[in-house]
Amino acid sequence: MLRFTVRRLLLLVPILLGLSILVFLWVRALPGSPAESLLGERADEQSIAQIREQLGLDDPLYVQYWRYLETLAEGNLGTSIATRRPVTTEIRERFPATVELTVAAGIFAILLGIPLGFFAAKRHGGIFDNSSLVLSLIGVSIPIFFLGIILKWIFAVRLGWLPSIGRQDVFIEAEHPTGFYVLDGVLTGNWRAAWDALEHLVLPAIALGSIPLALISRITRASVLDVQNEDYVRTARAKGLPSRVVDSRHVFRNAMLPVSTVIGLQVGLLLSGAILTETVFAFPGIGTWLQEAIQNRDYPVLQGGILFVAVIVVVVNLLVDLSYGLLNPRIRLAGR
């Protein structure tokens, strides 16, 4: 296991270097240039040339890249053009929002997706199964932003049940020691704030969780159908074990192995989906931040923010891989 872990950790180095090169080149390939976004619409060519020189934008790319790596190595991701604050400060403030949303969406998708898939398999070919198939197809194919707008229109604009933007009502005074608002409310005993933060999570979590929900329910269904026909399940039933016991001990547990793989893979999807969801719900996380940076041509934020998100996805995938290793010794051996 140790060898497997070390191997995967070592693999991180080329992956992260590759990522940094990709992000570096991508930001430089965008139309416009940092000099222009700094100086604005009126900038004359002379001032642009001056800023280009000042920022070293005329140096060869490899020189610029090396300089970029040096500042990265100092843990410095640059300063936002739009807010004049260090990119790392902004990440620290905004990342908890994205994590909270991603977790909420994940919980929604898992808690609903697994039972849905399970019962669809149990009633294979029935109305429930067919309608859940239709619903998951819709879930997978509806664009997140569209679903978000529709959900808001129904539950916020028409019915007025839930808020449409932000993480907290502006009239609520709350302390935020951790930046996870629901948790903060609980920790500080401010139940009203915790409940309000939960209310603000409902619609974005449903919008963001819709695609994973559909995938998880479909995979669960397929997996349960497979396992149901395994010899050991038939044996268990033949032994006369009650159906409830067979389902929970034998079918469900074994069917969950491929499902857990899918859930692991969803983390990257959830993070990229968060960009759209946060924008639609004005949810102040990494997603809205990157979206605004694209609009403002805020190069340092794009560079630092995208690299950060990419690193998170890579690290989470690594953790998921390692956890498989723990769960399933066959993977560890294959890693040799």
Q: Tell me which residues touch other proteins (CB under 8 A).
A: 31-32, 34-36, 38-41, 43, 45, 47-48, 50-51, 54-55, 67, 71, 78-86, 90, 93-94, 149, 152-153, 156-157, 160, 163-172, 191-192, 195-196, 279-282, 284, 288-289, 291-292, 295-296, 299-300
Number of other residues whose CB lies within 10 A of the CB of residue 33: 17
| Smallest distance, other proteins to C-beta of residue 195, A | 5
Q: Which is nearer to other proteins, 80 or 228 (CB)?
A: 80
Q: Which is nearer to other proteins, 49 or 257 (CB)?
A: 49
Neighbouring residues of 62: CB distance < 8 A, sequence distance ≥ 6 = none
For the purposes of burial, counting CB atoms within 10 Å of the CB of 198, is it exposed (0-12), middle (13-18) or buried (19 or more)?
A: middle
| Smallest distance, other proteins to C-beta of residue 59, A | 13
Q: Which is nearer to other proteins, 7 or 85 (CB)?
A: 85
For the purposes of burial, counting CB atoms within 10 Å of the CB of 274, is it exposed (0-12), middle (13-18) or buried (19 or more)?
A: buried
Q: How far is it, in rounded angstroms, from Cα 213 to Cα 108? A: 7
Q: Which is nearer to other proteins, 66 or 153 (CB)?
A: 153
Spatial contact of 195 and 272, defined as CB atoms under 8 Å apart: no
| Smallest distance, other proteins to C-beta of residue 305, A | 13
Q: Which is nearer to other proteins, 113 or 163 (CB)?
A: 163
| Smallest distance, other proteins to C-beta of residue 50, A | 6
| Smallest distance, other proteins to C-beta of residue 176, A | 8
Q: Which is nearer to other proteins, 82 or 183 (CB)?
A: 82
Torsion, CA 220, CA 221, CA 222, CA 228, rounded to 10: 100
Structure-block tokens of residue 147: 């679903």
By three-state DSSP, how is residue 264 classified?
helix
Per DSSP, the residues of 94-136 read HHHHHHHHHHHHHHHHHHHHHHHHHHHHHTTTSHHHHHHHHHH
| Smallest distance, other proteins to C-beta of residue 2, A | 37
